[in-house]
Structure 1
Amino acid sequence: MTQTLPPTGRDLFWPPADELTEAAERIRSRLGDWPTTHAPWRICLTAPDEPNGGDLIIVADLQHHGDHVAKWLVKGAGVIEASDDSATLHLGGERYALAGHLAEDWIAALAAFLDCGFDPHDALTLAMAWRDGDETAHPDAWPTDLSRFPRVTGLPEAPSQPFARCPDRLGLYPVLPTADWVERVLDFGVKTVQLRHKAADAGLTGEIERCVVAGRKHDAQVFINDHWQAALDAGAYGVHLGQEDVHTADLHRLAATGMRLGLSTHGYFEMLTALHFRPSYIALGAVFPTTTKVMPTAPQGLARLARYVKLLDGVVPLVAIGGIDGQVLPQVLATGVGCAAVVRAVTEAADPAAAVSALQRAFLQ
């Protein structure tokens, strides 16, 4: 049964706004069975006397509110500066700037997407993809038309040419800690791997060079995590970077050489950020809890992954990543994603060759 926003016991808006609450409930009822959020978000149409960490204060002009904005942010509140064709969220020391259409019901839609458990920057992205009346057009009104989504602004200039393409469906994608592991797994017949060698130590160059040689030997796609300069020097097939790296890596140079680029994302705002740079693939995660690295967001889960795939399938190759093993892989692939990255499912397997074989069979079913 579809869950809706509770009509009582929770302040959705300040000051209270019955019509907005009704619109939010109506929109929420057409978004699917998402667990109701426990986060105490409250959308403030005017500034409350005592804002708190659950408040999102909407203003038309940030400068008009002067020193008040700094005080609101210090108290943990968020501020959304909204105009006819843009909205910028200031929250937690970060700035999320979006350009695009704002429907008449965008504030109600924002409340509905917050209730579905999305963080404010992703809820705002979805609210800007909303159009008035969407809740009456289809039983499932979730935004899936990429052309209606906003554009992230304030990003570095994208390379003049898109990054070179990689296969649309990369299949099994082990992420491995050493060149020894890369060579071993390629010998098992895997065609896409990543070297995640975090330390920039004296042996890094040699590790990357060995991986590049192994990739050429097996006609495989070998990506290097983070160390884009060393990967470029070694002539690697591709690099995998995080969101923060797009501000520091020389993406223009990487694209010009024909190297492939994979970018990590953790939600709608970051997916739009990644698309701006026209990468070779986008990684979606973490799908499940993972112990291999500290994640900036809570696990996405299969329901979100399915929505992401529906939005981006056919636009760019997609990779599901985070906590994936043989037990959950069939459920991951059922979302339609064409690639799944694994770590411990291979590196901690009692018999890595058998584990790889079993994981590869899942892609054939």
Structure 2
Amino acid sequence: MTRTLAFADREIFWPPADELTEAAERIRARLGDWPPVDEPWRICLTPPDAPRAGDLIVAAGEREHGADSADRAKWLAAGASVIDADEHGARLTTDKGRYALTGPLAEDWLAALASFLDCGSDARDALVLALAWRDGDEADAAREDAWPVDLTRFPRVEGLPAAPAQPFARCPDRLGLYAVMPSAPWVERVLDLGVSTVQLRVKDASPEALAAEIAESVAAGRRHGARVFINDHWREAIDAGAYGVHLGQEDIETADLAAIAVAGVRLGLSTHGYYEMLCALHFRPSYVAFGAVFPTATKTVATAPQGLARLARYVRLVDGAVPLVAIGGIDVAKLPAVLATGVGSAAVVSAITGADDPAAAVAALERIVANR
């Protein structure tokens, strides 16, 4: 057993709780071996006198332990987070926001929460996984590990806008090589090279230039019989008759998702963890993108690289529910391992735009996809 699988010399609960620690060790030992976690987290079963960064203070209700707004403000200012739990689910409050989940709590949910934190999940994702946990999952010897992969057992995110009444148009389960390109000329270039799924991601452009880029990209897609997605600019994508739109999590509440669905435009949503995955699935998108799988310099991502092991678990979780696209730091050398997880599609950016010979790079990438 490696250091990451034992809690004997680590303060994971405060005050110390031997039974919870023993349960956490049993669960943790069945989740696989993950890189050591250096974050100084601990789960506080009662509010500490001196809260610190990384503390998750567990309350049974909004005013449990006298946890009024002044107390909570003090804890959050110190870098701690608060978890309110009851028979309906759990709500996490951090300095970044409040995240509410509805679902049953297993008796061992706190032990499971500690275990998933130790596996490197952030507090939001660890709480999602803890609510997906069921007592005794660690004793199921028939499974390779006890990581939750049954989507029907996962909690529901509260407070999301209603999903459009009309479902989004479907995408193929496997979109193949998915090229994310910075301009219309690049879109045309990769389409000429045989790529059939392309996203136009323009970072800075005037409204007139943006409309022209989108119109040219959509027209090129039609000529090639290809799927062209437009990043972010959903109004312009609808006007141009684009095949699809790709949005980030921050766009979900501002974009008119119903208008996108009614227009017959496909919708792809970015996700960076379990909580965001649940948010995305609520809207029944055409596909979900997961990343960043590896470190990437093409886009600022707040979350740490997810890695292949997490990607494989996401594939098992959403299998059959929605097409999944892996993205972030994927190149010719990494693509075979990415596809070996079973993911239907892989998005690339600099593997093409940064190549000395883009045509040769596309050919190499397409060969890998074809021979998966």
Match of 1:332 in 2: 338
Secondary structure of the 2:370 match is coil
- CA distance in 2: counterparts of 1:93 and 1:178, whole angstroms: 34
- CA distance in 1: counterparts of 2:259 and 2:7, whole angstroms: 54
For residue 72 of structure 1, the aligned residue among 63, 72, 75 is 75
Q: Does 1:177 align with 2:182?
A: yes
Q: Deviations over 1:198-253 (max 9, x none)?
A: 22413000000001101111111000001111111111110000001001000011
- CA distance in 2: counterparts of 1:198 and 1:4, whole angstroms: 41
- CA distance in 2: counterparts of 1:69 and 1:179, whole angstroms: 50
- Name the stretch that deviates more: 271-280 or 56-65: 56-65
Match of 1:116 in 2: 119
- CA distance in 1: counterparts of 2:7 and 2:279, whole angstroms: 35
Q: Deviations over 1:283-326 (max 9, x none)?
A: 00000000001101010011111111111121100100000000
The code of the aligned residue for 2:204 comes to A
Q: Does 1:349 align with 2:355?
A: yes
Match of 1:273 in 2: 279
- CA distance in 1: counterparts of 2:54 and 2:172, whole angstroms: 43
For residue 205 of structure 1, the aligned residue among 200, 211, 229 is 211
Match of 2:139 in 1: 136
TM-score (norm 2): 0.96
Match of 1:31 in 2: 31
- Name the stretch that deviates more: 312-321 or 59-68: 59-68
- CA distance in 2: counterparts of 1:353 and 1:147, whole angstroms: 43
User: What RMSD, in angstroms, separates the aligned Cα atoms of the two structures?
Assistant: 1.1
Secondary structure of the 2:160 match is coil
Secondary structure of the 1:213 match is helix
After TM superposition, list the pairs within 5 Å mapping 1:1-365 onto structure 2: 4-64=4-64, 65-66=67-68, 67-138=70-141, 139-201=144-206, 202-365=208-371
**Identity %, equivalent residues:** 68
- CA distance in 2: counterparts of 1:6 and 1:33, whole angstroms: 11
- CA distance in 2: counterparts of 1:320 and 1:2, whole angstroms: 29
| Alpha carbons 1:5, 1:24 under 8 Å: kept | no
The number of residue pairs the alignment matches comes to: 365
- CA distance in 1: counterparts of 2:12 and 2:263, whole angstroms: 51
| Alpha carbons 1:302, 1:335 under 8 Å: kept | yes
| Alpha carbons 2:247, 2:270 under 8 Å: kept | yes
| Alpha carbons 1:3, 1:33 under 8 Å: kept | no
- Name the stretch that deviates more: 130-139 or 314-323: 130-139
| Alpha carbons 1:85, 1:99 under 8 Å: kept | yes
- CA distance in 1: counterparts of 2:7 and 2:116, whole angstroms: 16
Kindly state the Cα deviation for residue 166 of structure 1 after the two structures are TM-superposed.
0.7
| Alpha carbons 1:114, 1:123 under 8 Å: kept | yes
The code of the aligned residue for 2:193 comes to F
1:33–1:340 Cα change, 3 Å: same
Please list every run of 5 or more consecutive structure 1 residues that lacks an aligned counterpart in the other structure: none
- CA distance in 1: counterparts of 2:365 and 2:359, whole angstroms: 10
Kindly state the Cα deviation for residue 4 of structure 1 after the two structures are TM-superposed.
4.8
- CA distance in 2: counterparts of 1:204 and 1:364, whole angstroms: 33
1:183–1:7 Cα change, 3 Å: closer
- CA distance in 1: counterparts of 2:2 and 2:128, whole angstroms: 22
The code of the aligned residue for 1:104 comes to E
| Alpha carbons 1:176, 1:182 under 8 Å: kept | yes
Kindly state the Cα deviation for residue 3 of structure 1 after the two structures are TM-superposed.
5.8
Q: Deviations over 1:92-122 (max 9, x none)?
A: 2211111011100000000000000100100
| Alpha carbons 1:4, 1:25 under 8 Å: kept | no
Kindly state the Cα deviation for residue 354 of structure 1 after the two structures are TM-superposed.
1.2
| Alpha carbons 2:295, 2:305 under 8 Å: kept | yes
Kindly state the Cα deviation for residue 331 of structure 1 after the two structures are TM-superposed.
0.5
- CA distance in 2: counterparts of 1:215 and 1:55, whole angstroms: 51
| Alpha carbons 1:90, 1:96 under 8 Å: kept | yes
Runs ≥4 residues deviating over 6 A: none
| Alpha carbons 2:13, 2:43 under 8 Å: kept | yes
